[in-house]
Amino acid sequence: MRKIFLISSILLYISAAAQYSFHSINQLGIVEGEKGTSFQLQTINGFTRNYWFAGVGAGLDYYHQRTVPVFIDIRRKILKNEKSPFVYADAGFSFPWEKQDGESVWYKEEYKKGSYFDLGLGYQLPVHKLGSFVFSLGYSEKRLREERYNDFYLIYSGVYDGGNNKNIMDYRFRRISIKAGWQF
């Protein structure tokens, strides 16, 4: 806990000394893809200077398998105005949320982390001096790896296949992402 406090203090000092300003972006959204429509939630914290924003984000992604994406976010405003469109790029990892029913009679499954990215366009609409509404539309992809161990198969079949009872499935979920949120 002390390390987090120390790092936060150093970053705040650097931001004050170097004319950077701290911002937090909190977003709710939906993702639509081949597996249907799901909910997502994100928080991104970072610094701005001129037209650029760079931060670190984390969230919850409920598409197909619930995951926790952790990523770097880079944004660039297109216009000088407070009301401005922007482009953004997120890249990082998608960590699986622990699944309660990870074992069945036939197999045991484990989910492993995979990559995560999101690219898109958005619009920032300021509300007086309180902050800004942020809207975005993007293309997102998350990957997961599932490993299934078929040890229970041996009990019921009586067949031993030399110990190669591991099946690996790599999932690649391509989706359209629509988000709305608040930046302060």
Q: At 58, give phi and psi (nearest 5°).
A: -150, 160
Looking at the chain, which runs of residues are DSSP E strands? 21-33, 36-49, 52-61, 67-77, 84-96, 108-112, 114-127, 131-149, 166-183
For residues 161 and 10, the answer to whether their CB atoms sit within 8 Å is no
Establish if 139 belongs to a structural domain.
yes
Domain count, the chain: 1
Establish if 16 belongs to a structural domain.
no
Lowest mean pLDDT among 13-17, 60-64, 83-87, 166-170: 13-17
For residues 142 and 160, the answer to whether their CB atoms sit within 8 Å is no
169 pLDDT band, cuts 50/70/90, is confident
Establish if 113 belongs to a structural domain.
yes
Per-position b or e across 160-182, b if 16+ CB within 10 A of its CB:
eeeeebeeeeeeebebebbbebe
The parent domain of residue 78 ranges over 22-183
Establish if 14 belongs to a structural domain.
no
Residues forming a β-bridge with 119 = 89, 139
Establish if 105 belongs to a structural domain.
yes
The tens digit of pLDDT for each residue in 40-92 reads 999 999 999 888 999 999 999 988 888 999 999 999 999 888 888 999 999 99
pLDDT score for 167: 78
For the chain, the distance separating the N- and C-terminal CA atoms, rounded to the nearest angstrom, is: 25
CATH number of 136's domain:
2.40.160.20
Establish if 110 belongs to a structural domain.
yes
Q: Would you call 83 helix, strand, or coil by DSSP?
A: coil
Nearest in space to 44 (alpha carbons), one of 67, 11, 72: 72
Establish if 38 belongs to a structural domain.
yes
